[in-house]
């Protein structure tokens, strides 16, 4: 019933819409639609009486169908419009009636009275169903089920629906004929309107074409009339403007011929004549506008002439710079190639291609630099009137030369990409000098072209770039000869700048940077030479056979043998010197470095105090960085024996002693003074003034000697470790009281080594003895306790014999060290061997922990380790029959007991 009701509603809706046509309105369609709506509601209610859920669904579908019907009307606006037009009171002049589906409730109540057998609350439910847009059907159904009389209620609703449908049919029948008439009239009027519209459009096209032809004819007539009037007016005005046009033409010819000043005057004359003519005339206005354009063209030509003159000056920069530097050398008596080569030798020198212009007598700076465009530019600049240019434009024009010149100079001061040779530096400096000298020439030849301070400002703006280029490219120089030549060029450059009235402070700053870089080059070269000297030196004291060999080996090294100290061998040959060959060579290398550095530091515009300080600092750098680095590097390699290390130690003493002569040598190079000579025990010294720069050599050689001492100790320990590590704690002694071959070899090595070490200071010798003894004891203990897999009583006896031998040897060294101090190094091993050989464990356990204990240096951990290795040795040597012996069993039990006590002692010590 529910589904059928919905289908009837939709079908009735579609039928009513389909049958409402122009030919005739179907009363059945409209009534069918409204009646189906009422029937559908009743059927939905009746169906819902059996199932409340179906009631809800029916209500939802009812709402959906209603919305679909309303959407149909909304999506088809033509239907709505046609309906509105059919029922409009304006169309037919009728009074509209209310919607027949919404009849008043009072009329329905009269037509269909409320049954008396139904509860009165049903009236409210019926009112809600008929008047509410979205009735609450679940609520209505619940009320109906609660009150009862369902069938009577449904019959009542059907009677009300039928009464409403009957009323709707009556109203629709009344308006059907009226709607049909209105539709026919509307269609007939529409056809007449379309015909009228077509006729109006055709008439409009015809009239528009005729009006366009008339307008075109009027324009042609007006144009012909204007042409006749303008021709007559033009003939009249040309006769008036003929002198002005002639003057302008002459000015154009002057501009093309380069007569800029004459052209500017003619333009002024033409402008004065043009001002008197009426400017409303187009030709007059055109001439008035063309004259400023020609003036701008004239200004452009004058500026182009400035550019041409500057280009000619640029091409002459190198030659002008060469002549300037040549004159500076001649005036100051400097000899710097190629500026001081004789005139007849120029063409035959290696600079012949560069200086061949000197042989050309026609060449001159006046001929090389075209000054005529600059003179024209100045005349044009002075001929301007205030009306020609505004204040800012006139100022820019006057500064045009200075602007172009600054731009040109800023480009020329850029160094080439690869300025790594002396010729590149010379050409660059020569170019800068040429720029400045030509600028002075131009300012003197063409007065008023620049301001008074322009030349100074030009150099001040250029100087940072020039000095940066020179400093940045000088660092790539690695050859000292090239650096010296560049330094001479820089000095010449500074003198030339002063000659040209330019500030040379920045150039002198570059010279100081060059000096520092030159010092670094010398230091790198000196390092290489010092390493070469150390590589060929055998670190053996020098012995010379004759005077020629002595002079060749010693050179200028300030050392002479004292006759009393040498025992009469001071004059006889062969002579023996206490230092190796590297000492005089080092002294000679440092002397050469100082001389070269002082020579380079000359003419750098430095005070004497600054030069002294720089030379002293550089020499200290040689000693502290180069000399110490080379010597310490050689020592740290570990390739020198102890004898060679001792000789290196002695070399440091004599090198340190020679530093005072280096101070005198520096003083003689900087400020030669009268000096006296004194003879001491082993060398000749000189007295100098208190102003002699001091060298910081004491701390330097102290560090070098400390490094050599450490290497001596390291070499001793390495040799001792190599020999002592072969000790066998399980081997039986070769004889009852004799030391092993290993110990005799160690003692023999110590005798040989300390024969050389005795030449070192007593403190060093004593430290070397103590280091050797401690290392021997540590290595024996390490080998005996930790490295040896087995320990036997025989091996312990051999160790005691070796210790006795070492102690006896040390007691003989009273002149070199304190024997009692040296013997302390072996006290740990001595107590360990005595404890094992005497088997004095009772005393050990009884006195353990006391300060004056007999075996206070024996640690329980070491003793436990030794006993375990002895037990392992006994286990490997014992057989089945030996284990049956009572004394062997007792010995084993005793070892076990001692081992247990040692472990307990270790635990007690750890717990504390």
pTM assigned to the model:
0.59
Residue 537 lies in a domain: no
Query: What does each C-alpha distance from 534 to 580, 586, 635 come to in angstroms?
Result: 10, 9, 10
CA–CA distances in Å: residue 242 to residues 239, 246, 275, 293? 5, 6, 15, 20
Per-residue confidence (pLDDT) for residue 771, from 0 to 100 = 92
Express each pLDDT in 105-158 by its tens digit. Answer: 567 778 788 887 788 788 888 888 888 888 888 888 888 888 878 888 888 888
CA distances from 644 to 641, 719, 723 (A): 5, 15, 21
State the Cα–Cα distance between residues 44 and 50, nearest whole angstrom. Answer: 11
Query: 3-state DSSP call for residue 410?
Result: helix
SS3 678: strand
d(CA 811, CA 326) in angstroms, rounded, equals 84
- What SS3 state is found at 854? coil
Helix (H) or strand (E) holding 677: strand 676-679
Contact 829, 799 (CB under 8 A): yes
The backbone torsions φ and ψ at residue 857, rounded to the nearest 5 degrees and listed phi first, read -95, 0
Cα 863 to the center of its chain, rounded Å: 64
Beta bridge partners of 543: 576
Contact between 628 and 700 under an 8 Å Cβ cutoff? The reply is: yes
Beta bridge partners of 684: 679
Phi, psi of 222 (to 5 degrees): -65, -35
Q: What angle do CA 462, 465, 468 make, to 5 degrees?
A: 145
Nearest to 405 by CA among 438, 362, 372: 438
Q: What is the pLDDT of residue 95?
A: 36
Predicted pLDDT of residue 271:
75
Q: Phi/psi class of residue 606: alpha, beta or left (left: φ > 0; alpha: ψ in -120 to 50)?
A: beta
Q: CB atoms < 10 A from the CB of 253, how many? A: 12
In a domain, 903, yes or no: yes
- Number of helices followed by number of strands (H, E) in the chain: 36, 4
pLDDT tens for 709-728 read: 999 999 999 888 888 877 66
Instruction: Give all strands (DSSP E) within 806-865, no chain letters.
Output: none
Distance CA 511, CA 487 (A): 7
What is the structure's pLDDT at 319? 84
Cα–Cα dist 289/33, whole Å: 89
Any residues with CB less than 8 A from the CB of 123 and at least 6 apart, and which? 114
d(CA 589, CA 597) in angstroms, rounded, equals 12
Asked if residue 488 lies in contact with residue 445, where contact means CB atoms within 8 angstroms, the answer is: no
Pick the last residue of a domain from 134, 154, 176: 176
Dihedrals φ, ψ of 687, to 5°?
-95, 135
The answer for residues whose C-beta is within 8 angstroms of residue 332's C-beta and 6 or more apart is 495
Which residues make Cβ contacts (< 8 Å) with residue 13, sequence separation at least 6? 33, 36, 69, 72
DSSP 384: -
Q: What pLDDT shows up at residue 774?
A: 92
Single residue among 176, 198, 214 that ends a domain in this structure: 176
DSSP 574-629: SEE-SS-THHHHHHHHHHHHHHHHHHHHTTSS--HHHHHHHHHHHHHHIIIIIIHH
Query: Would you tell me how many other CB atoms lie within 10 Å of the CB of residue 906?
Result: 15
Structurally, how many domains does the chain consist of?
2
Q: What is the token pair recorded at 315?
A: 């091409």
* Selection from 583, 431, 437, 562 nearest residue 501 by Cα: 437
Contacts of 495 (CB under 8 A, 6+ apart): 328, 332, 334, 504
pLDDT under 70 in the chain at which residues?
1-106, 341-363, 383-398, 561-571, 671-694, 727-736, 877-888, 912
pLDDT of residue 31: 29
Q: 672 and 718 in contact (C-beta within 8 Å)?
A: no
Q: Which residues contact 649 (CB under 8 A, 6 or more apart)?
A: 705, 708, 709, 712, 760, 764
Quick check: is 671 in a domain? no
- Pairing of the two strands 676-679 and 543-544: unpaired
Helix (H, G, I), strand (E, B) or coil at 129: helix
54 found inside a domain: no
Any domain includes 893: yes
Q: Is the residue at 284 inside a domain?
A: no
pLDDT for 875 equals 77
413 located within any domain: no
How would you class 606 by CB atoms within 10 Å of its CB: exposed for 0-12, middle for 13-18, buried for 19 or more? middle
Q: Are 9 and 33 in contact (CB under 8 A)?
A: no
DSSP assignment string, 682-748: SSEEEE--TTSPP---HHHHHHHHHHHHHHHHHHHHHHHHHHHTT--TTSPPSSSSPPPHHHHHHHH
The two three-digit tokens of residue 733, written as one number: 């002694």
72/87 Cα distance (integer angstroms): 20
- Residue 633 — left, alpha, or beta (φ > 0 → left; ψ -120 to 50 → alpha)? alpha
pLDDT at 748: 92
CB 733 within 8 A of CB 657: no
Per the domain annotation, does 70 fall within a domain?
no
Q: Find the domain containing 865 and state its range.
A: 726-911
Region class of 112: left (phi > 0), else alpha (psi between -120 and 50), else beta: beta
Query: What's the CA gap between 324 and 437, in Å, rounded?
Result: 7
């Amino acid at each position: 019933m529910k589904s059928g009701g919905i289908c009837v509603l939709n079908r009735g809706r579609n039928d009513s819409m389909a049958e409402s046509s122009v030919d005739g309105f179907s009363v059945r369609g409209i009534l069918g639609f409204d009646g189906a709506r009422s029937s559908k509601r009743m059927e939905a209610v009746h169906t819902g009486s059996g199932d409340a859920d179906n009631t809800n669904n029916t209500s939802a579908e009812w709402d959906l169908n209603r919305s679909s019907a309303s959407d149909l009307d909304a999506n088809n606006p033509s239907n709505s419009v046609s309906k509105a037009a059919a029922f409009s009171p304006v169309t037919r002049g009728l009074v509209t009636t209310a919607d027949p589906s919404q009849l008043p409730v009072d009329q329905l109540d009269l037509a269909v009275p409320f049954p008396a057998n139904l509860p009165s609350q049903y009236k409210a439910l019926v009112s809600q169903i008929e008047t509410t847009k979205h009735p609450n059907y679940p609520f209505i159904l619940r009320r109906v089920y609660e009150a009862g009389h369902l069938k009577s209620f449904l019959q009542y609703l059907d009677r009300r629906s039928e009464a409403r449908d009957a009323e709707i049919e009556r109203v629709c029948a009344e308006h059907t004929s009226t709607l049909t008439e209105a539709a026919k009239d509307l269609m007939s009027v529409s056809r007449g309107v379309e015909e009228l519209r077509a006729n109006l459009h055709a008439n409009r096209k015809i009239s528009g074409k005729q009006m366009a032809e008339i307008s075109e004819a009027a324009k042609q007539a007006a144009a012909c009339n204007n042409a006749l009037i303008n021709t007559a007016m033009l003939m009249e005005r040309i006769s008036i403007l003929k002198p002005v046009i002639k003057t302008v033409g002459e000015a154009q010819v002057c501009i093309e011929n380069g007569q800029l000043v004459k052209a500017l005057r003619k333009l002024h004359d033409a402008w004065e004549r043009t001002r008197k003519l009426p400017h409303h005339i187009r030709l007059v206005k055109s001439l008035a506008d063309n004259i400023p354009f020609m003036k701008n063209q004239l200004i452009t030509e004058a500026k182009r002439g400035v550019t041409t003159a500057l280009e000619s000056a640029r091409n002459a920069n190198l030659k002008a710079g060469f002549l300037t530097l040549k004159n500076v050398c001649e005036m100051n008596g400097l000899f710097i190639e190629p500026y001081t080569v004789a005139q007849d030798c120029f063409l035959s020198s290696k600079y012949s291609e560069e200086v061949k212009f000197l042989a050309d007598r026609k060449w001159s700076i006046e001929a090389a630099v075209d000054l005529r465009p600059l003179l024209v530019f100045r005349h044009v600049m002075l001929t301007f009137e205030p009306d020609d240019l505004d204040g800012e434009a006139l100022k820019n024009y006057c500064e045009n030369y200075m602007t172009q010149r600054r731009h040109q100079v800023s480009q020329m001061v850029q160094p080439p990409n690869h300025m790594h040779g002396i010729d590149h530096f010379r050409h660059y400096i020569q170019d800068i000098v040429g720029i400045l000298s030509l600028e002075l020439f131009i300012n003197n030849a063409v007065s008023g072209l620049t301001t008074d301070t322009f030349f100074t400002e030009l150099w001040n703006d250029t100087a940072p770039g020039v000095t940066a280029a020179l400093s940045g490219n000088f660092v790539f120089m690695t050859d000292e000869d090239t650096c010296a030549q560049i330094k001479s060029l820089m000095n010449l450059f500074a003198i030339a700048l002063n000659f040209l009235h330019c500030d040379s402070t920045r150039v002198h700053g570059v010279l100081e940077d060059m000096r520092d870089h030159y010092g670094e080059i010398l230091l790198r070269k000196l390092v290489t030479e010092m390493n070469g000297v150390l590589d060929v030196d055998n670190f053996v004291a020098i012995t010379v056979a004759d005077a020629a060999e002595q002079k060749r080996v010693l050179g200028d090294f300030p050392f002479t043998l004292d006759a009393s100290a040498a025992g009469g061998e001071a004059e006889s040959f062969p002579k023996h010197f206490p230092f190796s060959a590297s000492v005089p060579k080092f002294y000679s290398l440092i002397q050469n470095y100082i001389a070269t550095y002082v020579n380079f530091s000359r003419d750098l515009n430095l005070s004497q105090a600054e030069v002294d300080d720089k030379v002293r600092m550089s020499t200290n750098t040689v000693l502290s960085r180069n000399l110490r680095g080379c010597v310490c590097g050689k020592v740290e390699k570990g390739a020198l024996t102890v004898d060679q290390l001792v000789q290196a130690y002695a070399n440091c003493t004599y090198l340190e002693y020679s530093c005072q002569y280096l101070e005198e040598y520096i003083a003689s190079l900087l400020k030669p003074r009268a000096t006296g000579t004194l003879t001491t025990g082993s060398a000749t010294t000189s007295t100098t003034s208190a102003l002699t720069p001091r060298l910081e050599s004491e701390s330097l050689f102290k560090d070098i000697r400390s490094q050599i001492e450490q290497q001596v100790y390291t070499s001793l320990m390495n040799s001792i470790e190599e020999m002592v590590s072969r000790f066998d704690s399980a081997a039986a002694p070769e004889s009852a009281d004799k030391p092993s071959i290993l110990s005799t070899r160690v003692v023999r090595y110590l005798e040989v080594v300390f024969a050389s070490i005795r030449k070192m200071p007593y403190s060093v010798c004593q430290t070397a003895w103590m280091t050797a003894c401690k290392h021997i004891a540590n290595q024996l203990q390490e080998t005996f306790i930790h490295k040896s897999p087995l320990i036997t009583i025989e091996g312990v006896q051999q160790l005691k014999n070796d210790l006795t031998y070492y102690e006896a040897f040390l007691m003989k060294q009273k002149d070199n060290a304190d024997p009692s101090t040296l013997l302390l190094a072996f006290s740990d091993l001595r107590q360990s061997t005595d404890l094992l050989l005497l088997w004095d464990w009772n005393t050990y356990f009884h006195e353990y922990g006391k300060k004056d204990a007999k075996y206070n240096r024996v640690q329980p951990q070491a003793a436990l380790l030794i006993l375990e290795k002895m037990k392992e040795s006994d286990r490997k040597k014992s057989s089945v029959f030996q284990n049956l012996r009572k004394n062997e069993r007792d010995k084993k039990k005793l070892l076990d007991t001692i081992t247990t006590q040692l472990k307990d002692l270790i635990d007690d010590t750890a717990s504390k």
